[in-house]
Structure 1
Amino acid sequence: MNLFTSLRYLAALHQHKHFGRAAAACHITQPAFSNAIRALEEEFGTAIVKRGRAFESFTPEGERIFISAQRMLHEQELLLQDLSSKADQPVGALTLGAVPSVMPIAARFAGHLQARHPGLSLIVRSMSSPDIENGLENLSIDLGLGYTDRLKSRAAKLVTVNQYTERYFLLRRAAQPTPAGLHIADQPMRWQDTAGLPLCLLTPEMHNRTIVDATFKQLGLRIQPVIETNSILTLGLTVLVGDVCSILPGALVAVLRGYAELEAVPLVEPDVLTPIGFMWAGSDRPSNAMRSALRMADDPQWLTHVMAHVGLLQSGVEA
């Protein structure tokens, strides 16, 4: 079997943490996938995977092999892109990881980038902040979009480019539906006034929830949501059909603009402003796809588009 194919199987296993799902992602049967991993173990003379009744984890040696495999696959992709691309016509793959709360912006970025450069093949993954940061460091993803302020505490340095500042809104059912769709309230609400409302919030491991909890803690308040979820879609739908409210960043509020039954209220006191940006592992040899993505991330036309879709929907909430 081709070595690069086997290494891609190893990368898929690292991503999916499950033999069956990894095999399906590679479009082969699970027995064939397992045999390929065993062949790699024989090739390197060491166990790569801790096996129980199901996949447990990589062995320490397996982690080292995976890191080397990612470097080899990365170098192969760089070479393939160099051989295939022409001036201003990049060809190749780019994997973008984004935290759930910014997925609407990540989707827009991918769509615009692929339209500008049809030779690019893009993968957009919803990932937690730690998984994005680790993925950038081990080269399993190329570009991240998320909370850049988290990186101050990390030893490994990632390069960032700011995109916008995230602001927060209380999402609730409107007293009266408006023909124009979701209504942005003229008067803001204080964070402390939301503490007694029945809230649907993200689960505690999500960084967005960490921001919300930290804001209430700053005010000396502790909240207990009536619904918790790791699904961004659930946040909006529970408000739409239930008797709960939610706290959402502006990019998600913008996605819900078509729902006349909903109202978003800007939250103040304090003004919680969270920088959102692209991040990547600095390299003096970025791929053609990466160079194209970074150029667009700095493009004034793209940045204008971003500001129109991050919830800054009234002049009272300034960019």
Structure 2
Amino acid sequence: MIDKLEMFIALAREEHFGKAAEAMGVTQPTLSAAIKQLEDQLGVMLVWRGSRYRGLTPEGQRTLDWARRIVADSRALRDEMRMAREGLSGNLRIAVIPTALTLVADLTEGFARTHPNVRFSVLSRTSTEILSMIENLQVDAGLTYLDNEPLGRVTTQPIYAERYVLVARKGHPMLRAGLGWADLGGVPLCLLTPDMQNRRIISQHLSEAGVTVDPKVESSSTIVLISHVLRGDWATILPRKAAEIFLKDGDLQAVPIVNPDAAHVVGLIAPHREPMTPVLRALLAEARSLSDRGVD
């Protein structure tokens, strides 16, 4: 039954029989037959059918909650038994907000040194997508904001406080000490897109300082923002840690934005369930160690 529940979760996530079949690596008839068999076993209709997928029935929605728990517990059991045989191993999937991508190496380097048989898959996603992917068992953990928007039922481990800097080419007139949010009116800014929580945070601080948020360039990638800053009079606002990697060649400079000195907590989130998988217990322990060492 576990394989049928996994297909059912994929269908609920993709909301399309063909896409769900592709995600599961099976044919569409195979997936459709598995869903029908699951319905027969449970004695209820799970999916409203027509010429295409039309959503879950009330019984299907309730089954989805159970399916996520059962599949997660099944995977945890397999991980526990694999650890008993081989030690900590397998593939650890982590989804990360773009502004925390430079933190991943801090987290994975120490973890990999202690557990060399673990591989990592790192995905850049918005904070909303990270929560959805954890709920749908697509990733094992996430690096995201902990204190700005609701997280739901997850286990959290704070790692560092994100503080903000203005990044521009050396010599830019705004690169001065004591720079406040209110001073940024009229500065041609490159910012992340509004679906990013970092953008919502920055827009809030600018708005509270009386600055109209009207970026000249928007992108979901910090690389795109920095490439524009390097080519002209544009500037961008980034977390200090995210900016560090772009300051090494000397063409760019960053100054803290104060008044107020805003800070938001970033950390690790994982599904809230017991027992927790061995790999997640070890990852949370590494995140606590990273927090204790201080990475901000």
TM-score bracket for the superposition, by shorter chain length: 0.7 to 0.9
- For the residues of structure 2 that align with 1:270 and 1:52, how far apart are their CA atoms? 55
Q: Is the 8 A contact 2:190 2:234 kept in 1?
A: yes
Residue 231 (1) aligns with residue 221 (2): yes
Q: CA deviation at 1:166?
A: 0.4
Q: Which runs of 5+ in 1 are unaligned?
A: 177-184, 311-319
* Aligned mate of 1:165, from 161, 168, 173: 161
- For the residues of structure 2 that align with 1:196 and 1:31, how far apart are their CA atoms? 57
Q: Which runs of 5+ in 2 are unaligned?
A: none
CA 1:278–1:189 in 2, change beyond 3 Å: closer, same or farther?
Answer: same
For 1:38-66, what per-residue CA distance to the aligned partner results, in whole angstroms no more than 9, with x for missing partners? 44445445554456776565444333222
Q: How does 1:138-217 map to 2 (within 5 A)?
A: 141-150=139-148, 156-175=152-171, 187-217=177-207
Instruction: Report the identity percentage.
Output: 31
Q: CA deviation at 1:130?
A: 3.2
Q: CA deviation at 1:158?
A: 3.7
Identify the residue that residue 63 of structure 1 maps to in structure 2. 61
For 1:236-268, what per-residue CA distance to the aligned partner results, in whole angstroms no more than 9, with x for missing partners? 222233542211112321232344432222211
Residue 129 (1) aligns with residue 119 (2): no
Q: Is the 8 A contact 1:236 1:246 kept in 2?
A: yes
Q: Is the 8 A contact 2:112 2:118 kept in 1?
A: yes
- For the residues of structure 2 that align with 1:285 and 1:161, how far apart are their CA atoms? 17
Residue 95 (1) aligns with residue 85 (2): no
Q: Is the 8 A contact 1:71 1:139 kept in 2?
A: no
Identify the residue that residue 269 of structure 2 maps to in structure 1. 279
Which deviates more from structure 2 when the two are superposed, residues 88-97 or residues 163-172? 88-97
Q: How many residues align?
A: 294
For 1:132-177, what per-residue CA distance to the aligned partner results, in whole angstroms no more than 9, with x for missing partners? 34555565544332111136x56x554322211101111222249x
Indicate the RMSD between aligned Cα atoms, in angstroms.
Answer: 3.3
For 1:266-318, what per-residue CA distance to the aligned partner results, in whole angstroms no more than 9, with x for missing partners? 21111111111223344441111111111111225x754x62xx5xxxxxxxx
CA 1:280–1:233 in 2, change beyond 3 Å: closer, same or farther?
Answer: same
Identify the residue that residue 259 of structure 2 maps to in structure 1. 269
Secondary structure at 1:268's aligned position in 2? coil
| TM-score, normalised by the number of residues in structure 1 | 0.77
Identify the residue that residue 4 of structure 1 maps to in structure 2. 2
- For the residues of structure 1 that align with 2:87 and 2:238, how far apart are their CA atoms? 38
What amino acid does structure 2 have at the position aligned with 1:143? A
Q: CA deviation at 1:95?
A: 3.5
CA 1:265–1:71 in 2, change beyond 3 Å: closer, same or farther?
Answer: same
Q: CA deviation at 1:200?
A: 1.6
What amino acid does structure 1 have at the position aligned with 2:159? Q
What amino acid does structure 1 have at the position aligned with 2:25? H
| TM-score, normalised by the number of residues in structure 2 | 0.82
What amino acid does structure 1 have at the position aligned with 2:155? V
Secondary structure at 2:103's aligned position in 1? helix
Q: How does 1:13-52 map to 2 (within 5 A)?
A: 13-49=11-47
Q: Is the 8 A contact 2:13 2:136 kept in 1?
A: no
Q: How does 1:234-253 map to 2 (within 5 A)?
A: 234-253=224-243
Q: Is the 8 A contact 2:167 2:255 kept in 1?
A: yes
CA 1:227–1:71 in 2, change beyond 3 Å: closer, same or farther?
Answer: same
- For the residues of structure 2 that align with 1:276 and 1:9, how far apart are their CA atoms? 33
CA 1:230–1:82 in 2, change beyond 3 Å: closer, same or farther?
Answer: same
